[in-house]
């Protein structure tokens, strides 16, 4: 009888421990029929990630007691149009073309372990950069598809994610949150600190209003730095959520890159219209983009979407739409559209 009671106690304790930890499988599969037309040529493709980035991920959390939790987050980019995995980067530098699409599945989107308590979260590993979080949060098209802000990630190698990073995310203090991050290129002490950098984000959320300032500084070569900063805000009017952002990139021995985006998300006809106008300018070379799209939910996990965009160039610029157009020449315009379906799980 005593042995039975001991066994029951052990099972109960095991069950309690299991209840304090969990692991979740999640992902997004997004595909779109897309066409891009430039001054010299056009191209039709079946692409991925037109609305949300396709991904496969695992995340888990364990309650350590006393308000402290440990967690992990592993997230891989998936190119579901051809079945390949998205490549990562080495030492916070651009991925080489030689192995792009051939390296198999990598946890390039995020691979972190964290400790989270009442004083905030410490996060270690490959993670988003703080200034990118504003770029995607205040873009009506979320930096995906042909409608993406034309100024997104201009001149940056570590514009979206940083490897070998250490980050601190504070709890909300009256709506104010702080996110600071440092990352390493992991170079020898005698070498240039290529890939080393720091980032920050200060955000404020109160009801229908949100605002943020963010920036990062990355060493991209011997004596060369990339400093990127942005300011953004949004307000939900009920009939529409309006948003605006400006950004500035300073690169050693190069002209500043200035950009901005203004747009809105408008609930209508059971779905959401997305509208955005963005521009970027460097040394007189200017590109402007206009985009409009519509997202129609089919369920809580499935959406249909359509987007049309046009980019115009002047002053010697030759920008193209993100994944949309081909064959654009100096000072020419290009157009692109896409029709897609996104399913999350």
Average pLDDT over every residue of 274-295: 96
Give the model's pLDDT for residue 16: 47
Query: 159-188 pLDDT, tens per residue?
Result: 789 999 999 999 999 999 999 999 999 999
Please state the pTM of the whole predicted model.
0.88
Give the model's pLDDT for residue 10: 40
Give the model's pLDDT for residue 274: 98
DSSP 134: H
Give the model's pLDDT for residue 39: 79
Categorize the per-residue pLDDT at 14 as very low, low, confident or very high, splitting at 50, 70 and 90.
very low
- Give the whole-angstrom CA distance, residue 178 versus residue 199: 11
332 within domain boundaries: yes
Nearest CA among 180, 250, 255 for reference residue 220: 250
Categorize the per-residue pLDDT at 269 as very low, low, confident or very high, splitting at 50, 70 and 90.
very high
234 within domain boundaries: yes
57 within domain boundaries: yes
Assign residue 336 the CATH number of its domain: 2.40.160.10
Q: pLDDT: is 257 or 324 the higher one?
A: 257
13 within domain boundaries: no
Measure the CA angle with vertex 91, ends 87 and 92; round to 5°: 70
Sign of the torsion angle spanned by Cα atoms 216, 99, 338, 285: positive
Instruction: With a cut of 90, say whether residue 200 has pLDDT above it.
Output: yes
What range defines the domain where residue 267 resides? 23-344
Query: 51-84 pLDDT, tens per residue?
Result: 999 999 999 999 999 999 999 999 999 999 999 9
- Give the whole-angstrom CA distance, residue 177 versus residue 17: 32
- Give the whole-angstrom CA distance, residue 231 versus residue 263: 15
Give the model's pLDDT for residue 327: 59
11 within domain boundaries: no
Q: Provide the strand spans (E) within the chain.
A: 21-37, 42-48, 55-65, 68-79, 84-85, 110-117, 120-128, 161-169, 176-183, 197-206, 209-221, 224-236, 241-251, 257-268, 271-282, 285-297, 302-314, 334-344
Which residue shows structure tokens 């001149």?
155
Average pLDDT over every residue of 262-274: 97
Instruction: With a cut of 80, say whether residue 326 has pLDDT above it.
Output: no
Instruction: With a cut of 80, say whether residue 98 has pLDDT above it.
Output: no
Categorize the per-residue pLDDT at 99 as very low, low, confident or very high, splitting at 50, 70 and 90.
low
Are 177 and 170 in contact, with CB atoms under 8 Å apart? yes
305 within domain boundaries: yes
Q: How many domains does the chain have?
A: 1
Give the model's pLDDT for residue 87: 85
103 within domain boundaries: yes
Instruction: With a cut of 70, say whether residue 2 has pLDDT above it.
Output: no
3 within domain boundaries: no
């Amino acid at each position: 009888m005593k042995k039975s009671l001991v066994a029951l106690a052990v099972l109960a304790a095991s069950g309690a421990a299991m209840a304090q930890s969990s692991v979740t499988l999640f992902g997004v599969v997004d595909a779109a029929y897309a066409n891009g037309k430039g001054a010299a040529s056009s191209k039709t493709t079946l692409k991925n990630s037109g609305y949300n980035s396709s991904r496969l991920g695992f995340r888990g959390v364990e309650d350590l007691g006393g308000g402290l939790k440990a967690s992990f987050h592993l997230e891989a980019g998936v190119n579901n149009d051809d079945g390949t995995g998205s490549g990562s980067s080495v030492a916070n530098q651009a991925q080489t073309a030689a192995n792009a699409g051939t390296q198999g599945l990598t946890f390039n989107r995020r691979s972190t372990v964290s400790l989270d308590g009442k004083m905030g979260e410490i996060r270690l590993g490959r993670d988003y950069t703080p200034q990118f979080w504003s770029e995607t949060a205040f873009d009506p098209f979320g930096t995906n598809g042909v409608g993406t802000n034309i100024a997104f990630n201009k001149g940056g190698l570590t514009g979206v994610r940083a490897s070998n990073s250490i980050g601190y995310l504070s709890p909300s203090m009256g709506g104010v949150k702080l996110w600071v991050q440092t990352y390493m290129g992991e170079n020898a002490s005698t070498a240039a600190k290529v890939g080393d950098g720091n980032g920050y984000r200060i955000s404020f959320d109160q009801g229908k209003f949100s605002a943020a300032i963010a920036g990062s500084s990355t060493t991209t070569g011997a004596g060369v730095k990339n400093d990127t900063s942005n300011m953004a805000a949004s307000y939900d009017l009920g009939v529409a959520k309006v948003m605006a952002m400006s950004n500035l990139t300073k690169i050693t021995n190069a002209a500043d890159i200035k950009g901005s985006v203004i747009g809105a998300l408008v609930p209508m006809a059971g779905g959401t219209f997305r509208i955005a106008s963005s521009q970027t300018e460097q040394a007189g070379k200017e590109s402007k983009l206009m985009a409009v799209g519509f997202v129609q939910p089919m369920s809580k996990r499935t959406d249909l979407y359509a987007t049309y965009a046009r980019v115009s160039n002047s002053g010697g610029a030759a920008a193209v739409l993100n994944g949309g157009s081909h064959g654009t020449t100096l000072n020419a315009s290009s157009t692109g559209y896409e029709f897609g379906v996104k399913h999350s799980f």
